[in-house]
Amino acid sequence: MIMTDTQDLSQLSSKIDELQKRYQKALKRQTEVKALLEEKKKELTALFKEIQAEGYDPKSLSTELAKLMEDLRERVKTFETDLAQVEKALDKYDTAAKSAG
């Protein structure tokens, strides 16, 4: 009976040692992850402030992007229309110049 208790105690002691090592490893990793999280929070805060400094609301960037894209599409369409008119006028000029010359 004493032999069994001694073996049990030895096994429990080994198990406790193993659990303590695992716990210390987990604590170390938790500290590393917390430090990484803090770093990422700082980066995110800096990015947030940078976006605000540019005059945008970071919470509505997708809406702002959609508005800017629509504005850009309209400007490209207008430019294309204006360019087509210029090209048409130049073609008329070139045709008239060839006829006259």
For 34-80, write each residue's pLDDT tens digit.
Answer: 999 999 999 999 999 999 999 888 889 899 899 999 999 999 999 99
**Domain span holding position 74:** 58-101
Match 């170390």 to its residue by tokens.
Answer: 28
CA distance 85 to 97: 18
Both 5 and 43 in one domain: the answer is yes
Both 49 and 63 in one domain: the answer is no
**3-state DSSP helix/strand/coil percent for the chain, to nearest 5?**
95, 0, 5
Percent residues over pLDDT 90 in the chain: 75
Counting the structural domains of the chain, the total is 2
Both 41 and 67 in one domain: the answer is no
Both 16 and 47 in one domain: the answer is yes
- The pLDDT assigned to 56 comes to 87
59 and 49 Cβ atoms separated by less than 8 Å: no
